[in-house]
Amino acid sequence: MRQLDPSIELVVCGSSSAAMPTFGEWERVVLSHTYDLVDYISCHAYYNLVGDDLPSFLASAVDMDRFIETVVATADHVGAVKGSSKRIQISFDEWNIWNIDRYHAEDKHTAIDDWPVAPRILEDVYTVADAVVVGDLLISLLKHADRVTSASLAQLVNVIAPIMTEPGGGVWKQTTFHPFAVTSRLARGQAVAVDVRAGSIDTERHGTVPQVDAVATADGDALAVFLVNRSTDAPVEIAVDLGTGAPAREIVEAVGLWDEDPFATNSLEQPERVTLRTLEGAVVEDGALRVTLPPVSWAAVSLR
């Protein structure tokens, strides 16, 4: 008789109670029966621009924060009721921008007797705003790295992907490639919370949210700070306290992604229309990192 693997992943799909009326209660009931067998809860969430509501879209990471924190709270509640010291982790194994309203109007199911070979479907063309949101979702995942110990972007090539290709032709990077690649390279070691003191913006879907989102990572003497300005029209000056008595640091790299047109995209003909830009004016002075973030922007600063 084969012994069953005691590690079970419990699948949870959806990103809010509005999307799933049973969200929270279903997880509680299932975990009450399976808590000792479950090591990970699987979370899935996709975000898209609805109509012309750009402020709500730029605040999508607020929803991801709430999603993660609600699932963690539900799991910890069950653990507390059971008197267990075990902590269930989160596997956010599907997340991305999926612009159904904008790009899939022509996607149609095909009759079984007229099925195409390798049809081109779900090939989202990503904008600057999409890339800023991807950068912010990465910030959300890093902020919850104590419980989100596995996460996967869906997908990587062509289908809702940061890399696009033409059959037998060229390859180019979509806008979302850049924050994903830079965060993957710089985010090492331990995630560090950043106390953000900035203004707020009002959104239709998420209420009043912080204008700026941020997180840092520390790995030995290497420090990286990731920031997003969610405002559609206002730049913001940021001062990140590097810590009293901390060793003097210098900026190794300061890059960002923004554009005068938040809906600019890359293409085979213009593969570098949107790319990383140097974050001019970033300095370390008086023990603080000082940067100015343009509207609708994502940025990363590496220091040593």
Q: So what's the pLDDT on residue 66? A: 96
Q: Provide the residue ranges of all domains of the chain, joining segments of one domain with +.
A: 8-303
How many Å apart are CA 129 and CA 5, to the nearest integer? 42
Exposed (0-12), middle (13-18) or buried (19+): which is 169, by Cβ within 10 Å? exposed
Residue 1: band (very low, low, confident or very high) from pLDDT cuts 50, 70, 90: very low
Cα 72–chain centre separation: 18
Q: So what's the pLDDT on residue 118? A: 77
Provide the total of helices (H) and of strands (E) in the chain, helices listed first: 6, 17
Q: How many residues does the chain have?
A: 304
For 86-132, the pLDDT digits (tens) are 999 999 999 999 986 655 545 555 567 777 777 788 899 999 999 99
pTM above 0.85, yes or no: yes
Q: So what's the pLDDT on residue 48? A: 95
CA torsion through residues 256, 260, 264, 267, sign: negative
For 180-192, the pLDDT digits (tens) are 999 999 999 999 9
Residue 3: band (very low, low, confident or very high) from pLDDT cuts 50, 70, 90: very low
Residue 142: band (very low, low, confident or very high) from pLDDT cuts 50, 70, 90: very high
For 149-163, the pLDDT digits (tens) are 999 999 999 999 999
φ/ψ of 187, rounded to 5, equals -75, 95
Question: In CATH, which of 2.60.40.1180, 1.10.10.60, 3.40.1190.20, 3.50.40.10 is domain 8-303?
Answer: 2.60.40.1180
Q: So what's the pLDDT on residue 4? A: 44
Contact 241, 288 (CB under 8 A): yes
For 230-268, the pLDDT digits (tens) are 999 999 999 999 876 667 799 999 999 999 999 999 999
Comparison of pLDDT for 198 and 269, the residue scoring more:
269
Most confident of 8-12, 139-143, 239-243: 139-143
- Least Cα distance to 278 among 257, 295, 296 occurs for 257
How many Å apart are CA 41 and CA 101, to the nearest integer? 29
